[in-house]
Structure 1
C-alpha cells in the first residue's frame, strides 16, 4: 500500500490563514503566495496582492486599508518575529514591530495593536512609531488566543484556563477563572460587553460580562469532547455561534447584560437534538426537572445546528505539533471560522487546499421553530 502523502505542486495556491474583520463584512486570506480580501456576504474578491512568498497570519483593521501580517508557510514573506502593519492602498509597510520570539497572533483596533507571543501579550499604540503600552505574561499560548475590542482586551491568564481582561482605557486587569483546562477559543462580542470562552475539552462554552466578570451563560456544545474551531457573536451580541471538529455549526441564545431578554419562542424549549451533537434548551424534557439528575440533562443547548465542511486535510509538514517554534501556516489548516454578516446570516470559511466559504441563515419554520439552514457554498480559490 502506498502511504506516501501527495507532493504539493509549487504552483498550487494554498490558504494558510483566514480571519474576519471587526464587523465581519470582509474576510482576509493569507496565502503561500500573498494575501487577498473577500466580501463576506457574497464571497466576491475585493483585493489581492502577490508577494511570491507566504503570509501565515493576516488581520484586517475594520474596513480600512490596514492589515496586520506575519510571514508563514514554507517560504515566508516576513520573519516570524515581526508583525507588519501593511498599508494596502499605498502598497507598502506602514509599521514594523520586531519581537524576541515568534509572533503567534495579532489583533488590531483603531487605537491599539496587540501582539501575542508564546508567553506574553504586548500592547502597542497604533501610531508611527508605535509606543509599547503594556506587557502581560500568560500561560503557554501557541494558538495565539486573543480578542480585542475598542474597550477591552482578553487573553489567557498565567494559569491554564484563566482569562486576563484588560480595560484598554484604564489599564485595569481582571482575572476570570473560566475553565479548569487550557483555553481553546476566546471571543469578545462586537460591543465588548460579553466574552465567550471554550477549553480544550470543548463541551462547555462559558459567557461572562466584561463589566463585572459575572458569568451570564453556560452553554453545552455536546457531551463528547471536541476541538473548538471558532466562536462568534452576532452583531447584537444576543446570539453565539460555535464550530468544532464534529463538523457541526451550533447557534445559541445568549442573555445580554444591557439588553432586555428575548421573549421565549417554541424553538427554545421544543426543538429536537440533531446528529447526536446538541439540540435545544431543555432538550431532555421532563428529565431536566428531576432533582439530583446529572447536570447534562439541565444544561442549555443550541437552539439550531447544521453541518459545515470541516475537511480532513493533513498539516503541510506531516506530524508537526503546534509549539512555539512551529512556523505559521505549517500546522493543520484552520476550518470553521465564523463571521456574522447580519443578525440572521452567518458565513463559515476555512483554509487549506480545499478552502471553502459557506453561508447559513437562521430561519423560522412553519412550526415556529428556528433552524440553521445552509443557503450556499463556494470554493473561493481559483485553483480549486
Structure 2
C-alpha cells in the first residue's frame, strides 16, 4: 500500500468510529412504545393450574340391606292321629318323601271293621223290608205310616254305615300334602291318642325365610321384590327369592316390620330352621354422584370444584352417603358437570385451569348462593 493510501485509510477510520458511537447512543435514547393493557394483564396473570377432571353423574340411591332371617317350610305340620288306639304299622322312614294321602300310620281297627259290616247288614235288611212294603202300595195291605217308617229306617241305616266307615278311616293317618317326613315319634305297639305327635311333615320345594326390617323402610317394600339369601353351609352361593308376605302392621315394641320371602329349593339343599342372611336392594331418590376425591371440606362445609368458562368455581354441597366409591350429593351441582379430582390444592375461585384430561368444556354456572 502506498503512502497516500495509508493516510486516506487512517483518516476514514478517525471519522467512522465516532459516527458509529453517536448512532448507537441515539438508538438507545429513542423512547419505546407503551405496552397495552392486555399485554400487561397477560404478563402479570398466573399460569393455569393443571387439574384432572371427572364428570358428575345422576345416580339412584339404592340402599343395600343385610338382615338375619330364619327358614320355614312352605307348608309344615306336626301330624297327630284323629282317635286313640294301638299302633299296628308305621308306614314311613325319617327323611322320606311322601305323596299326598300316603299312609303314615295304622291303628288297630278290628272293632271298626266289624262295625262297618254290621251297619252294612242293617242297611241291607232295611232296604229289603222297604221293597216288600213298596210292592203292596196301593192295595191297602200295609198302612202308609208303616211304609214311611220303613223309609226312615233305610235312611238311618245308611247314616249309620257312613259313620262306621268314617270311624274306620280314622284308624289310618294319611299325609295331608306331599312333602318330607321327619323322625317317627312312635313305634308299633305304642298306644296313642289325639294329643300324641307322630311326626312332622314339611313341603320343602320352596322355603320361606322370615325376617324383619326397621319401619323406616316400610314405604319402599312391595310384594314380589327380589332378595338374595345366603347360608354358611353354602359359602359363596346366593339363593334368589322374592318377598311373598308383608305384615299389615309395625310391631309397636320393636318398631320393626315382619316379612317373608319365598325362595325356590329345587335341589332340596335348604332346610326349615336354617339361619339365613337376607340381602335386598331398596331403590330411593336420585342424586348427583361424584368420585370420592372430588369432595372437599372447608369452613363452610362440604364443597366440590367445578369448571365454568375455563375457571375454577367452588360449589357448596351436602354429602348424602358413599356408594361404590362415589359420593351422593345434594346441592346445585348438575349432572354432567366437570369436577376436579386432582390438583385441588392450588385452586382458588376464578383461577384459570388447564385440564389434563378434559371431560367437558364447561359446566353450567352454579347457583350464586351455593358457589363462591
TM-score by length of 1: 0.15
More helix by percentage: 2
Which structure exhibits the higher relative contact order, with contacts defined as CA atoms closer than 8 Å and separated by 6 or more residues? 2
